[in-house]
Structure 1
Amino acid sequence: MKPDTPNAHDSQLEAAILGACLIETAAMPLVADKLRPEMFYEENHLEIYSALQSMYRDGKSIDIITVKNELAARGKLDAVGGPYELMRLSSAVASSAHLEYHVLILRQLHTRRSMRLGFQQLLGMSADESLDIDDILVEAHQLLERLESDGSMNEHLRSMPQLMTDTLEQVDARVASGSADGITGIPTGLAELDRLTAGWQRGSEYTIAARPSVGKTAFALHLARAAATAGHHVVVFSLEMQGERLGDRWLLAATRDVNPQHLKDGRLMPDELAQLREASAGLSRLPIHVDDHAVTSMDRVRSAARVLQSKGKCDMVILDYLQLCNMKSDQKNRNREQEVAQASRKAKLLAKELNIPVLLLSQLNRESDSGYSTDHRPGLHQLRESGAIEQDADMVMLLYRPAMHGKATDKKSTYPADGLGVVIVAKNRNSSTGEVYFHHNPSMTKLADYVPPMEWMMRNSK
């Protein structure tokens, strides 16, 4: 092998791999899924391997004659050196005995070249003060992601015995971590929702959708506080509200009787101020991180989550909300629906990569407001801007408050609508769907399990 050069390539190694693929039928199955054409540094080798890979995937026979014809059909035969070059490559190797080792080396050389090129570009970007530092960090993480992918292209292939071993290990882990009431994930803070979900599960994406002002953020803050109280590290990305406004809501939820209007206009009574200070001390001990950067992309969310998880400080991510994500697409002419679909897919990949639950808040369209359904109950068809949100989510929850639509009771439960919130679990990939009722105070800052009022219970027991 040649000594390491600035380009980090080895022409003889590339020729040996191509020669083995030309003379032995067992060669291409070994390399087709491990090498891509761009991993070959020499342009003629890149073109020959591109033809070989295409022929293999189309089920065509591979030998010197058929490869020559394929290159001729592509108009590349003369560019690669003609039939003589194919003869030279095939005669330069006796067998494919060390082919897998050669492939490993070639991939490492390609990774080194990609590293050098990528790091040079990052160095140039870091010196350009007109670029936002967050964008540069995103580029850095994307580079590392590409390098990691090239370094482990087939590591996720598992045999059935290995898969069953890994599956049983997870079963045993759920048994060991499960509580008496069957909660194996991160608690939701609502007993009925815990029973339906068994808690927020690792590697899963959850979508919580509603129309504006229904209480998506309040619901999410309740979930974050419940998870953190149970000792789990939660990261909240607030794209709509300033962090201090989230702090206001958490304080109101943790106090007994502080008037929300007094907190807003500063006319706090001494007792109210004392309650706020006491609540602040308790909330300060919770393992929650808040990012209220107004311009946030899913790549930025992933970068921040990865950094925090490396420090043991990211067990769950909450994004408020998906449609406000900054959609930075590498492809031109991508419409809004495709951009939202891409962000949703990245959220799903984030959940799987970091093995954490990811909760996405999402808007619903106006059909529920315009009387699409007689009682204004939302449905999956109202997920705004992309059906991919429903497709990617392991669970979709739709929030509904009948009192907002002038209802005296909830139609399905006949519970009094005042203070009643409904979580409609419209999709649940791993279990059943259903509805969960919760109680909220007038300011929608305190949420709890729903208990029908005594008057209603007495009236309906007759």
Structure 2
Amino acid sequence: MDVTEDPQVTVFISYSHKDERFKEALEEHLAVLRRAKKISHWSDRKIVAGSSWAAEIDRNIETADVILLLVSPSFVASGYCYEKELARALKRHEAESAVVIPVFVRPLDLIDEPLMGLQGLPKDAISIIEWQNEDLGWRDVARGLRVVIDELLERKRRYHEPSGFSTLQETLAEMVESLDRRDKSGPISGISFGLHDVDHLTDGIHAGQLITIASRPSMGKTNLALGIVSSVAVSGLPVLVFSTKTPRRDVMNRLITITGRVSHTRFQVGRLNDDDWPRVTHAVHQLAEAQILFDDSTDLAFSALRERCISAKRKLGALGLVVVDSVSYIKVSSETGAHEEVIARGLKALARELDCAVLVTAPVSRTVEIRPNKRPNSPDLQNWRELADESDLVAFVYRDEFYNFDSPDRGTAELIIAKNQYGQVGPVRLVFAPEYGTFSDLTFNP
């Protein structure tokens, strides 16, 4: 797309040829949007002689921003419409790469049909032919479509908006302002991790930063990430959490037990003691005032992650932190390049686009377990080395007691800062309380 031109939304119309008159009526009511150059629409009537009709349909349905399904008994009876085009549309809907809208043109029984999970038009799923005045029904369809089209156009304009150039003088002025803010900000210039020793080494969390926390399983990286979520959110900054591994209810339970320092086991089974209740109440009160959004989708495409982040920022006005647990669950199209490389670069670009920090958890290769010193380092990320290259901060969680039951370091953990844009690298020793799932400072005395 030429970014100098206004973007358009591409619309694919799927219909049975027995409903040709409804397709033509729809096109008439889309004329206003078409003349305003907000949309371009396509149906199989645009296939020219000599073309492969199946290939043309496939190409256009895969590239459309909006897929309209003209639903009728004939549509459902059509093997190609229902089994081919609907299946492709639903696949793109699930990947959130297109908006799929059923347009009911003739009445039929659709109970338990997959497309009934989609919000359709006209309102209340009253088919066009059932309206006393069909034009009023089509007007209702056109108004519903306009809302969708305008929202998609806003996203496209924002995505393709050039950043422009900055002069040396403007950049210098921004740098001086930044230095002045940092001078007045206190001990750190970023957002606190909630761990003073970590803050001291890293200067906190900064907007536009990509942070990777990695470890072998059961080291506590998810709990550490949620502890950071709690700290940032309770400080008053909005947080968006993608918990691909864990249902949002379990994430919420963890946040309560971490924030309130309550036994997770007792909380899960509902056996709280007298000391637990005030802590739970305090944690609930703190979190109730916080702005945290959850997304526990198990199938998460990077394009969908980006759109949801942008939507959350629009809803909340700003974001302080985005957390993805775990990066391994993010998917990208196989056509865009190496999976890990595309995701790593995309996450860094997303942090800059959102102007907030993005924190991801990542796995560490099991090869560390055959070494005498099992502390992980950047090469142990293996397939995710590109993530380490793109990240501004890379930290590994290590607990010696996991491998050595009688370890003298039992009850502690190391957060090994392996890469740090804003400060030094090295290990930070923390207290780890497995009962609560919390990490806290070992040496800091407030």
TM-score (norm 2): 0.66
Moved more, 140-149 or 260-269: 140-149
Q: Secondary structure at the match of 2:66?
A: helix
1:357-372 mapped onto 2 (5 Å cutoff) = 357-371=357-371
Question: Which structure has more strand as a fraction of its residues?
Answer: 2
Q: Secondary structure at the match of 1:377?
A: coil
Moved more, 420-429 or 121-130: 121-130
* Compared CA separation, residues 192 and 163, structure 1 to 2 (3 A): same
* Compared CA separation, residues 156 and 172, structure 1 to 2 (3 A): farther
Q: Secondary structure at the match of 2:331?
A: coil
1:435-446 mapped onto 2 (5 Å cutoff) = 435-443=427-435, 445-446=437-438
From 279, 283, 294, the equivalent of 2:298 is 294
1:243-254 mapped onto 2 (5 Å cutoff) = 243-254=248-259
In the alignment, what sits opposite 1:398?
396
* Compared CA separation, residues 217 and 162, structure 1 to 2 (3 A): same
Q: Secondary structure at the match of 1:367?
A: helix
What is the letter of the counterpart of residue 341 of structure 1? Answer: E
* Compared CA separation, residues 451 and 399, structure 1 to 2 (3 A): same
1:7-406 mapped onto 2 (5 Å cutoff) = 107-108=4-5, 111=7, 116=38, 121-124=64-67, 130-131=90-91, 133=93, 135-136=95-96, 147-148=157-158, 150-152=160-162, 155-176=163-184, 178-179=185-186, 181=187, 183-255=188-260, 258-269=262-273, 272=276, 275-310=279-314, 311-331=316-336, 334=337, 338-371=338-371, 374-406=372-404
Q: Secondary structure at the match of 1:294?
A: coil
Q: Secondary structure at the match of 2:232?
A: helix
Give the unaligned 5+ runs of structure 2. 11-36, 43-63, 71-85, 100-148
In the alignment, what sits opposite 1:432?
424
Q: Give yes or no for contact 1:187–1:194 (8 Å, CA) kept in 2.
A: yes
Give the unaligned 5+ runs of structure 1. 1-37, 40-103, 410-415, 453-462
TM-score (norm 1): 0.64
Distance 2:278 2:370 in 1: 45
Distance 1:132 1:189 in 2: 40
* Compared CA separation, residues 268 and 341, structure 1 to 2 (3 A): same
* Compared CA separation, residues 116 and 214, structure 1 to 2 (3 A): same
Structure 1 residue 438: Cα displacement: 1.0
Distance 2:69 2:363 in 1: 36
What is the letter of the counterpart of residue 202 of structure 1? Answer: A
Q: Secondary structure at the match of 2:394?
A: strand
* Compared CA separation, residues 400 and 204, structure 1 to 2 (3 A): same
Distance 2:210 2:350 in 1: 9
Distance 1:254 1:136 in 2: 34
* Compared CA separation, residues 113 and 359, structure 1 to 2 (3 A): closer
What is the letter of the counterpart of residue 351 of structure 2? Answer: A
Q: Secondary structure at the match of 1:352?
A: helix
Distance 2:331 2:414 in 1: 30
Percentage of matched positions with identical amino acids: 22
Distance 1:376 1:133 in 2: 44
Structure 1 residue 273: Cα displacement: 5.4
What is the letter of the counterpart of residue 388 of structure 1? Answer: E
* Compared CA separation, residues 160 and 217, structure 1 to 2 (3 A): same
Structure 1 residue 439: Cα displacement: 0.6
Structure 1 residue 350: Cα displacement: 0.8
* Compared CA separation, residues 118 and 321, structure 1 to 2 (3 A): farther
Q: Give yes or no for contact 2:203–2:422 (8 Å, CA) kept in 1.
A: no
Distance 1:119 1:362 in 2: 42
Number of equivalences? 329
* Compared CA separation, residues 382 and 143, structure 1 to 2 (3 A): farther
Distance 1:218 1:137 in 2: 32
Distance 1:161 1:395 in 2: 29
What is the letter of the counterpart of residue 433 of structure 1? Answer: V
Structure 1 residue 368: Cα displacement: 1.2
Q: CA RMSD in A?
A: 3.0
Distance 2:252 2:362 in 1: 21
